[in-house]
Amino acid sequence: MLALTCQKIYQAVTNVPTTTPLHITIATRESRLAMWQAEHVQTLLHTCGHTVTLLGMTTRGDQILDRSLSKVGGKGLFVKELEVAMDNGMADLAVHSLKDVPMNLPPGFELACVMEREDPHDAWVSAVADDLADLAPGAVVGTSSLRRAALLQERLAAMGRSDVRIEPLRGNLDTRLGKLDSGAYDAIVLASAGLKRLGLPQRIRRIFTFEEMLPAAGQGALGIEIKSDRADLRAALAPLMHMPTWLRVASERAVSRAMGGSCSVPLAAHARWQGGSLLQLDAAWGDEELAMPVLRASLSADVKSIDQADALGLAVAQGLQAAGAKPRT
């Protein structure tokens, strides 16, 4: 009955007859969060009548933990091995945290589906302090993100707190929590979505507002990547697509693409619906050395298509550049 319902939804939305159920293999990283995401998609595709298996893989991004991503190759380290598996026929699709997906995919690959967004906020996780202001002198805050580091530094400067150290923090979510619990850090900043997906909302001490810490492009959303010649998979994934989320993240990723966004650029971009088709897009940029003040830009526009979302993102990127931000080439 559930599979029939899913097929009816797809046919109603696309006006295209449903296809024969597929045998699908999902390539996934083996961290607990990545497996949750893959299993979530597996369950939904099962509901639609497809047979789905998982192929667990370890990526270079999972292996290199002693250096920041900005120094070892950026976001592509988390997806390359999964793309190789799709290219050689070992897997049919890959499920990604969209904030970890490079802005430009390799030729022959595409983002075929963006699913409904989880909470995009950043979370403050600590056993000793309710917020930055409550940290003891000389405290250490861990984050893997230059964006978070730049925005934390901005808040600390406003408080006159030059004693707090912001240190790199690599590893999957469980590894980062373990380092916090071991006493290596006084607090860490993580994506709320990951904590909630793994049933760990109790670890969140507080949620940052968007004014305090603007999220990364795509944060909280899942994207599904396929090879561009797989029209059958594109059709199979259509019932999982959430267009309001896709339009939001398309505008965010357009900002990042125009600014040369990667793990080596402190860049935030977040879009919110303001009612009807009015989409507000906010962005923030910091220099790579974290030496300049954070620059911001914001615009709203009527958005009903991916092209319009891209145009809004480009306009906001131009606003950042007009304020002094420098695109990374």
Pairing of strands 122-125, 206-207: antiparallel
**Top-level class of domain 248-323:** alpha beta
Confidence of residue 19 (pLDDT cuts 50, 70, 90): low
- The more confident residue out of 18 and 137 is 137
60-107: pLDDT as tens digits: 655 544 445 454 445 556 688 899 999 999 999 999 999 989 889 999
130 phi, psi to nearest 5 deg:
-75, -25
Q: Of 65-74, 165-174, 299-308, which range is least confident?
A: 65-74
Q: What is the 3-state secondary structure (H, E, C) of the chain?
A: CHHHHHHHHHHHHHCCCCCCCCEEEEEEECCHHHHHHHHHHHHHHHHCCCEEEEEEECCHHHHCCCCCHHHHCHHHHHCHHHHHHHHCCCCCEEEEEHHHCCCCCCCCEEEEEECCCCCCCEEEECCCCCCHHHCCCCCEEEECCHHHHHHHHHHHHHHCCCCCEEEECCCCHHHHHHHHHCCCCCEEEEEHHHHHHCCCHHHCCEECCCCCCCCCCCCCCEEEEEECCCHHHHHHHHHHCCHHHHHHHHHHHHHHHHCCCCCCCCEEEEEEECCCCEEEEEEEECCCCCCCCCEEEEEEEECCCHHHHHHHHHHHHHHHHHHCCCCCC
Q: Does the annotation mark 100 as catalytic?
A: yes
Q: How far apart are CA 28 and CA 133, in angstroms?
A: 39
pLDDT of residue 60: 62
119-165: pLDDT as tens digits: 999 999 999 999 999 999 999 999 989 999 999 999 999 999 999 99
CATH superfamily entry for domain 122-207 = Periplasmic binding protein-like II (3.40.190.10)
Q: What is the pTM of this model?
A: 0.89
Which among 92, 100, 119, 122 is annotated as catalytic? 100
Average pLDDT (301-311) is 98
CATH code of 2-118+219-241, in short, is 3.40.190.10
pLDDT over 70 (residue 54): yes
Q: How far apart are CA 2 and CA 19, in angstroms?
A: 16
**Which among 223, 171, 231 is positioned nearest to 179, based on CA atoms?**
171
Mean pLDDT of the chain: 90
Q: Where in the chain is the domain with CATH 3.40.190.10?
A: 2-118+219-241, 122-207
133-144: pLDDT as tens digits: 999 999 999 998
Q: Where in the chain is the domain with CATH 3.30.160.40?
A: 248-323
